[in-house]
A and B are shown apart, each in its own frame.
Chain A
Amino acid sequence: MDKKKKRSITRGAILVVLLAAIVYTVYSSATNDKVKVLQVGDKAPDFELVDLYESGLNHRLSDYEGKGVFLNFWGTWCEPCKKEMPAMSRQYATYKDQGVEVLTVNIAQTEFEVKKFLESLDVHFPAVIDDTKVVMTAYNINPLPTTILINPEGRVEKIITGEMSEAQIASYMESIKPEQE
């Protein structure tokens, strides 16, 4: 009887392992494009890019630990990016003193275009240009705009693709605000 039971368990185990292999295969090929993408809860990949205005100032993500980081990817050709920028600028002015940093990453455009664009919108927040698209690759950014909310522990809190309203921006910044001691 023992032998019989053992055999049943062996068979069951083999079938379960094989079934798991199939499920894994189907699942990961169905989500093939998504597995590589950053997930909520992941450690946000570190990067360092030079400030648009001050060539001596580098923005390194890990330097902002303890602060919430509102990481926004954009391009001048992207209409919704343009629309959400003034709201971001206004909310940044409010949340700046509460420990929320805004960092906007332009995708490989020229300094001239980026500066003229930001000037014409009269927006004020730190901006960097991702010349080699390395940060874009690391964060697997596809549609623009994409905003990554990074909490004070350096983990991804939320990934937002598409345009945000001012109220949304405010609530997002609120959500990554470090707790006041």
Chain B
Amino acid sequence: MESLLPLVLLLALTSIAGIIYHAKKGDIKKSKRLQIFESEIGARYGKRASILQFSTTFCSECRAAKAIVKDVVKELSDIAYIELDAESNLDLVRRVDIRSTPITIFLDKNGYEIARAKGTPKRDQLIKAIQAL
């Protein structure tokens, strides 16, 4: 029984960390007003706002994030959806402090960051965030 104690403790602590990670993942939070330029991403911004998603080829969750965001913005012609490969844009990744993928950044029409989501954005929060843009 004594030798099982470290294992039980470790799995319990890791489970707590995992549950917290899962609960917070995808939350859309207000962020500092950092400007990202069109020249840096090689795309035009939307007339009202833009949603910039940083993805990687080793991130299977990025596909889910892309599908949700594209589905929510498909009827909104004044909001641009732009997906960037983080590995091919490492200078920008460092400048805007991308530490994991997917990261979804909400930009105003001038390219200023309004909010960001780490992980697949939650659909209800995403709809609210887009309505507020």
> Do A and B bind?
no
* A interface with B by C-beta (< 8 Å): none
